[in-house]
Amino acid sequence: MTNARILALALLAAGTAACGADPSAASPRILTTVELSVADEPAEVAQYTHATVIALDQYGDPIDTGPATFASGDRRIAAVSPTTGLILGVSPGTTEITASTAGMTAHRTLTVFVPAIRINEVEPDGDAAGGWVELYNPTDADFDLSAWSLAHNPFAKAFLPLGTTIPAHGYLVVDESRILGGLAHADGVRLFSRFGVEVDVFFWQRDATTSYGRCPDGTGDLIETAVPTRGAANSCR
Amino acid sequence: MRRGRFSTVVAVLLAPLAFSSVACNGDSPSAPGSVLTTLRLSLADSAAEVGQFTHATATALDQHDAPIPAGPATYVSSKPEVAGISPTTGLILAIAPGTTLITATVDGRTAQRALTVFASAVRINEIEPDGNALGGWVEFYNPTDAAVDLSGWTLTGPDIFFGSQLPVGTTIPARGYLVVDESQILFGLDGDGYEFHVFSRHGVQVDAHAWSAEPATTFGRCPEGTGDFVTTTVPTRGSENACP
């Protein structure tokens, strides 16, 4: 080989070693960093998710370090299975998930929340079948309501189909015909997340002349509105 | 540039080096005119259990493998009977055992990833109702080669709306057993005319057994872990069943 070719091959070898693709030409692999990831961040209350540890050598390549152990800084916020990293969101807040393997630890902050989706307007329509429930999303992001449910009886839930979303600062109307048992003259409706958490509830003693709506829109109490506003901001007296 | 100082042969040899350093990470100098080059599709869980929600995330990458803004993603599942997917958000619901191909599309580019849906293989293996006394227990068996996390699994009697959840951190070892005492099961176990159900943390019934009369010994699967429930010759709490 010419000197130039040898130099080029050396450069090539150095380049691939720096990429971590060929550790054979380098020093022994040692555990250098431990990375911790959480499959769902943030996680909802009652949601199961999981932490995963990846141990990396000095080249950034995965290295086997044996089993990891996991812990949650605040078990009131999230519990974690010490050996498997399975996580259960318990109540709103933040907790630090810690993973340890081969004497090294990694941390990640996990936020647990209850979605801010609210029952915003209810038109019971007496004991007739023309009623509806309007939901409101006060956040800046579209939200997936797949498998959320509406019910009077928590054991007889009507689930929203997979693919149901509510737009950011927008509304979703669910017709009475899709709610098991419908909406009666004096009745109630509960809203459950897909993890079974009761996110909102509203009971009424008698039918409204108009509808019941949150005043101010999206945040206030549910009171009789001036006029029903299906799928739009409430008309408050 | 280096190229001017080397022969053409060397330039050819250097070309893979330049290529490899670009391919290795996204921190190479960002060239002007980033264009959508590849679409990366990742799944939060590469295998999901029946009843589990998981999600797909599509990331648009430029020619340097750096994330770039792109239009909204749409998602589809090749076998909706295996797993359904929310077309706009990528939320996935695992429905039945099998394999489905998840496809994401962004600005005309597509990426695919296979998702395997499985049903838990953990089984009720032995039951000691202990009459209407409180000394009963239920033994589970894990026939797989990996430990299974049973956190949040629910045990119930005939009324499946009222059960006891196994605490977070409950695991069953590979090819091993887990015994749950009657005292940890809401409403316990009755000797005559009773049922026992076990639901995964995703609310799916994994196994159940109903009996009409108290066994002299215990009810156990024969053969171990796979057969029907029969009356065993002797109780074998936490170990292999004694089959008649």
| CATH number of the domain residue B78 falls in | 2.60.40.1080
Percentage of residues in chain B having pLDDT higher than 70: 87
- Partners of A48 on chain B (C-beta within 8 Å) are 151-152, 201-202
What count of CB pairs under 8 Å joins A to B?
A: 98
CB contact under 8 A, B24 and A79: no
Looking at B68, B86, B118, the residue that finishes a domain is B118
B242 occurs within a structural domain: no
- Partners of A4 on chain B (C-beta within 8 Å) are 6-7, 9-10
pLDDT (tens place) for every residue of chain A, 237 residues total = 444 444 444 444 444 444 444 545 568 999 999 999 999 999 999 999 999 999 999 999 999 988 999 999 999 999 999 999 999 999 999 999 999 999 999 999 999 999 999 999 999 998 888 999 999 999 999 999 999 999 988 888 889 999 999 999 999 999 999 998 889 989 999 999 999 999 999 999 999 999 999 999 999 999 999 999 999 999 998
Q: Indicate whether B68 and B105 sit together in one domain.
A: yes
Model ipTM value: 0.82
CB contact under 8 A, A146 and B91: yes
What string of DSSP letters covers chain B?
Answer: -GGGGS-HHHHHHHHHHHHHHHHH-S-S---SS----EEEEEES-SEEETT-EEEEEEEEE-TTS-B------EEEES-TTTEEE-TTT-EEEE-SSEEEEEEEEETTEEEEEEEEEE----EEEEEE--TTSS--EEEEE--SSS-EE-TT-EEESS-TTSEEEPPTT-EE-TT-EEEEEGGGSTT---SSSEEEEEE-TTS-EEEEEEESS--SS-EEEESTTTSEEEE-SS--TTS-----
Is the domain spanning A118-224 CATH 2.60.40.1260? The answer is yes
- Partners of B17 on chain A (C-beta within 8 Å) are 11-12, 15-16
CB contact under 8 A, A194 and B151: no
d(CA B162, CA B165): 10
A-contacting residues in B 111-130 (Cβ below 8 Å)? none
pLDDT of A154-178, one tens digit each?
Answer: 888 889 999 999 999 999 999 999 9
CB contact under 8 A, A147 and B149: no
What domain range is B162 assigned to? Answer: 123-231
d(CA B126, CA B243): 11
Which CATH code is given to the segment(s) A27-113?
2.60.40.1080
The secondary element (H helix, E strand) that includes residue A56 is strand A48-57
Residue A98 burial (C-beta neighbours within 10 Å; 0-12, 13-18, 19+): middle
CB contact under 8 A, A15 and B10: no
Q: Indicate whether B114 and B184 sit together in one domain.
A: no
- Partners of B152 on chain A (C-beta within 8 Å) are 48, 88
pLDDT of A91-101, one tens digit each?
Answer: 999 999 999 99
Cross-chain CB nearest to A146 (options B13, B86, B168): B86
What number is the average pLDDT over the span B163-181?
A: 96
Q: Domain segments of chain A: what residues?
A: 27-113, 118-224
CB contact under 8 A, A12 and B17: yes
What number is the average pLDDT over the span B184-188?
A: 89
- Partners of A19 on chain B (C-beta within 8 Å) are 20-21, 23-25
Instruction: Check CB contact of B23 with chain A, cutoff 8 Å.
Output: yes
Q: Indicate whether B138 and B197 sit together in one domain.
A: yes
Total number of domains constituting chain B: 2
> What's the pLDDT at B32?
65
> What's the pLDDT at B187?
87
> What's the pLDDT at A25?
57
> What's the pLDDT at A26?
64
- Partners of A163 on chain B (C-beta within 8 Å) are 84, 86-88
| Tokens standing for residue B218 | 């215990």
B166/chain A closest Cα distance in angstroms: 12
Q: Indicate whether B157 and B212 sit together in one domain.
A: yes
A-contacting residues in B 169-228 (Cβ below 8 Å)? 169-171, 201-202
Looking at B118, B149, B184, the residue that finishes a domain is B118
B95/chain A closest Cα distance in angstroms: 11
Cross-chain CB nearest to B24 (options A19, A50, A155): A19
CB contact under 8 A, A83 and B171: yes
CB contact under 8 A, B171 and A12: no
Instruction: Give yes or no for residue B224 having a pLDDT over 80.
Output: yes
B139 occurs within a structural domain: yes
- Mutation pick from A11, A86, A95 vs chain B, by most beta carbons of B within 10 Å, is A86
